[in-house]
Amino acid sequence: MRFRRIIQGTSFLTFLVLLSLASNHAMEWMRVDLFLRMDPLVLFSVLLSARTFVVLLVPALVIAVFTLVLGRFFCSTLCPLGTTIDIFDWILQRPRRRYGPKGARPDFRSLRIAKYLLLSFILGASLAGVSFVFLASPLSLATRLYGLAFFPAVSELLGIGIVGIREAGRAAGVPILEYTSVPVQTFSLQWFTLTMGVLILGSGLMTKRFWCRYLCPAGAVLSILSLRPFWGRRVSDSCTGCGVCRRKCPMDAIGGNPMHTRFPDCTACGKCARECPAGAVGFAFMRSRPVGEDSLFSKHRRSLILSGVGGLGAALVSLNLPGTLYSGTGRNAGSSPIRPPGALPEHDFLARCIRCGECMKACPTNTLQHIGLSSGVAGFMSPVITPRRGPCEPSCTKCGSVCPTGALRDLDPEEKIWAKVGTASVIRKKCIAWDLGRECLVCDEVCPFGAIDLKRTPESKAPVPFVNEKRCNGCGFCEHACPVPTESAIVIDSKGAFRMGKGSYIKAGRDAGYAFEVKQPSAYGEEGNGENGFGKLPPGFDE
């Protein structure tokens, strides 16, 4: 039990450290998305939706193989969401309440089939090339919960603390932390992430590990693989039948007879062995493999099939709803969303993207955000570039390097420059130079590709901007820095974007007549880390 706790704690801390290092350019050699690549649900879902085996998901295959031997060990040792649930179950635990004269408690065992129904629904949708895995993948949920909610909240609190210390120092006449600040990332659709987190963690009020027992589809995959493990719980003849192990089991994996174990539900946590007063419970390799609980599936065969068909139908409907796949982002009707550089063609991208938010956590300029329903149901929660929040730094390749499924290609810096994501266009009715005849050089000064040409026209009193589409990469520096309030006078859409599953972006760009070259360093510093300009006003404007 103690050894398992050490492994669980070490695994959880490793998950948090890797996630915190996602945007660290010095750690690009490290696969910070390791835990996401260990999710067996992601493995099988992407295998069906993308119609190909993704080499990046080999760790999930390794977990699946070990599960065949050791049972559902992943849930109690390696899963960060499972560890979080354990922590919150301990916090929420109250004095045991008695429901009735004999102390009976609510029986949720009829819900054991729910996780298999949810798994069938997700895999059914995957057959149509639509990934709904983000709705319930524990690793995707944990990454969003910690990367997009927990870490920003901690950064905000640290910032408040630094301000408090600084003001206290000034009051005492001692300068402290005068030039120290903590950058805070903000993300859209946080309500969805937080709602899911509250529901999952709050379900511990009903019973321990409610999510893991009854709803987790990744747990369902592991349960199927654990039907007949080679290693697991064994009870000796010294068992007195006291039932302590059954009452203490956090997964309700022990039946009315303490000698029997429901191995698909057992996570090998070892609590039964630790609590057994007779020392009759242990874990070892079996002399003969146990008989799996096939009756659960035979009783609900029709429901499982209907759930899979329902997932397939929901996917087909989502693909054919108005606005799906090629809808705009709310600015230019008819254009597809502005995806991160290296994104696969839209259908392939959505088939692989698990909406984990790892690319958003890694993005140093905070431009990557979840999209709502403006790209259709099939594109819900997928990442898009939002230039008004921040530009796409030309030298940064973090989003592709942390993508666990290859939905974003891992490009080297030179190739990334040619991965055109869109094209800028000037809205003349809003432009200071075009509409008011006042000089404004901002878009030209911040463009790292030199794609803005300032020219005089007969009807203009000042030089006005024109976009050279052959040099425009779609990075969004111009839109981000435009001083026009609310909507910028120069905006990016996905026109001319390169979406390639394979091949060289450099070759494709040159064949199309483009000439991408970084003419000047960006205002975000050499590596786009925000230290030399993040959050500051564009050139030519004073604070």
Task: Render pLDDT for 60-87 as a digit per residue (tens, 0 to 9).
Answer: 999 999 999 999 999 999 999 999 999 9
- pLDDT at residue 9 above 90? yes
Alpha carbons 229 and 373: distance in angstroms, whole number:
43
The answer as to whether 518 is a domain residue is no
- In sequence order, the 6+-apart residues with CB closer than 8 A to the CB of 2 are none
**Diameter over CA atoms, the chain:** 99
Whether 451 maps to a domain, the answer reads yes
- Residue 351 in any domain: the answer is yes
Residue 100 has pLDDT above 90, yes or no: no
For residue 374, being part of any structural domain is answered with yes
Q: Hey, how many other C-beta atoms are within 10 angstroms of the C-beta on 514? A: 19
CA pair distance 278, 269, nearest whole angstrom: 18
> Could you give the percent of the chain with pLDDT greater than 90?
60
Q: How does the average pLDDT of the chain come out, rounded?
A: 86
Per-residue pLDDT tens over the stretch 108-119: 878 989 999 999
The stretch 279-297 carries a mean pLDDT of: 74
Flag whether 395 is in a domain: yes
DSSP characters for 330-342?
Answer: SSSTTPPP-PPTT
Domain that holds residue 453: 346-511
Under DSSP, is residue 261 helix (H, G, I), strand (E, B) or coil? Answer: strand
Domains contained in the chain, number: 1
Calpha distance 381→373 (Å, rounded): 8
Lowest mean pLDDT among 21-30, 277-286, 426-435: 21-30
256-264: average pLDDT: 88
Closest by CA position to 271, among listed 285, 286, 251: 251
391: confidence class by pLDDT, cuts 50, 70, 90: very high
> Is the model more confident about 174 or about 200?
200
d(CA 251, CA 27): 38
DSSP state of 254: B
Q: Are 253 and 265 in contact (CB under 8 A)?
A: yes
pLDDT of residue 34: 93
Establish if 77 belongs to a structural domain: no
pLDDT in tens, 456-480: 888 888 899 999 999 999 999 999 9
Spatial contact of 354 and 42, defined as CB atoms under 8 Å apart: yes
Paired strand residues for 455? 464
Residue 411 counted as domain residue: yes
Give helix 217-225 / helix 58-70 axis angle, nearest 10°.
50
Instruction: Give pLDDT tens digits for 116-145.
Output: 999 999 999 999 999 999 999 999 999 999
CA–CA dist 184, 161 (Å, integer): 13
The answer to the question of residue 400 being in a domain is: yes
pLDDT mean over 304-331: 73
- Kindly state the percentage of the chain with pLDDT values over 70: 88
**pLDDT tens digits along 318-375:** 887 655 544 333 333 345 889 999 999 998 999 999 999 999 999 999 999 999 887 7
* Sign of the torsion angle spanned by Cα atoms 62, 271, 249, 254: positive
Binning pLDDT at 50, 70 and 90, where does residue 294 land? low
462: domain CATH number is 3.30.70.20
CA atoms of 399 and 361, how far apart (whole Å): 9
